[in-house]
Amino acid sequence: MENQNALLWEVTFWEFLFVTILLAGGAAYLTGRAIARAWQSNLQLAFYIVLLAAATRFIHFALFNGTLLSLHYYLVDLAVLLVIAFLGKRITRAWQMSTQYNAYYARNGLLGWKARGQGD
């Protein structure tokens, strides 16, 4: 399965899954959660994920003979990590809104909240 889908991963699928999705994706999710808990901006989260994507490229380079300075694979890693990070932030923010402001908002699915009195 090595280089079967060269648009998404440079090494093997399993290495991409382990490094980018499991290791760096877990860190991105926790970063998004921390940003949401501190009520910080999306711009700050994006900055942290840009740095995390660079570290992810280094791990691919150092451990799995990937290309260190590949813009294409850096952007792929960045896109995957941004999605995971913003998902972590949104899940945490929905939890915050429904628990800290439960007089005003109720949970509406995994990613959302709604004002109380709208179909409640």
In a domain, 64, yes or no: yes
In a domain, 43, yes or no: yes
Q: What is the pTM of this model?
A: 0.85
In a domain, 6, yes or no: no
Report how many domains make up the chain: 1
CA distance 10 to 96: 38
In a domain, 26, yes or no: yes
In a domain, 3, yes or no: no
Residues with Cβ within 8 Å of residue 36, at least 6 apart in sequence? 88, 89, 90, 92, 93, 96
Q: Are 36 and 96 within 8 A, CB to CB? A: yes
In a domain, 94, yes or no: yes
Domain interval for residue 32: 13-115
pLDDT averaged over consecutive 10-residue blocks of the chain (120 residues)? 61 88 97 96 97 95 88 94 97 88 81 73
Helix-strand-coil split of the chain, %, nearest 5: 65, 5, 30
In a domain, 4, yes or no: no
